[in-house]
Copies of this chain bind each other. A is one copy, B any other.
Amino acid sequence: MERNAERTKANILAAAVAEFSDKGFAGARVDSIAEMAGCNKGMIYQYYGSKEHLYDEVIAYEYQTLSNIEAEIIQNHTDLRELIDVIVDRYFDFLLRHPDFVKIIMWENLNEARSVKANPSLEHVKAPIIECIREAVRRGRREGIFNENANSKVVVFALITGAFSYFSNCHTLPVVLRIDLNNPEFLLSCKQIVKAGIRSYLKK
């Protein structure tokens, strides 16, 4: 068995993402993470100190993945009129491709964000996208296409939760509503509702 600290650490983190997103903090098993990571349990304690610290790292890591997407959006957007649509689309795409992310964020909310609150660097993880929207709103006002009183944080909140909500109830609602979330038309309608809601808020 080859010795490679970097690789082992990365394997542990990846395994931890899978385990914590699947079972949550209380349900996750350190043994399972070690097995998935293909390493010994002792390694986890050597590299991450405790189950709790490992969980913190997972939270930070997951927030970073979305942050990377947001950085991309910010760099590439040009047209103000299309910005909302683009962000909604990118958020839906991201969450669709990262089911782990959705779950981790849900666990962390049920955890009352204790890990997020304990990590000072996360206070600023959304700064770029907030600033991007704030600037867009400002410009939109000047150009006369956006409302004077629109609160840019309301917009960010609506963007995130609008996309998120399609995924966060994805197990119970299909049962009680007897719907199929994989239906592309259904997805399209939901995206349009989110977009229309936010556009309405900005214009009004």
Give A residues with C-beta under 8 Å from B: 23-27, 63, 103, 105-113, 116-117, 122-123, 125-126, 130, 151, 153-154, 156-158, 160-162, 164-166, 168-179, 185-186, 189-190, 192-198, 200-201, 204
Contact = CB atoms under 8 A, between A and B. Distances in A.
A158 B189 CA distance: 9
B110 A106 contact: yes
B130 A177 contact: yes
Contact of A200 (B125, B126, B160, B197): B197
Interface of A is mostly: helix
A160 B169 contact: yes
Contacts of A194: 197
B173 A166 contact: no
Nearest to A154: B189
A176 B171 CA distance: 26
Nearest to A150: B189
B110 A24 contact: yes
B113 A175 contact: yes
A80 B175 CA distance: 27
18 contacts: A105-B169, A105-B172, A109-B169, A109-B170, A111-B171, A113-B171, A113-B174, A122-B175, A122-B176, A125-B176, A151-B186, A151-B189, A157-B186, A165-B168, A193-B198, A193-B201, A195-B197, A200-B200
Given A107-B110, A162-B165, A177 B153 contact: yes
Given A23-B26, A24-B110, A116 B178 contact: no
Contact of A26 (B24, B105, B125): B24
Contact of A24 (B24, B196, B198): B24
A196 B189 contact: no
A156 B204 CA distance: 25
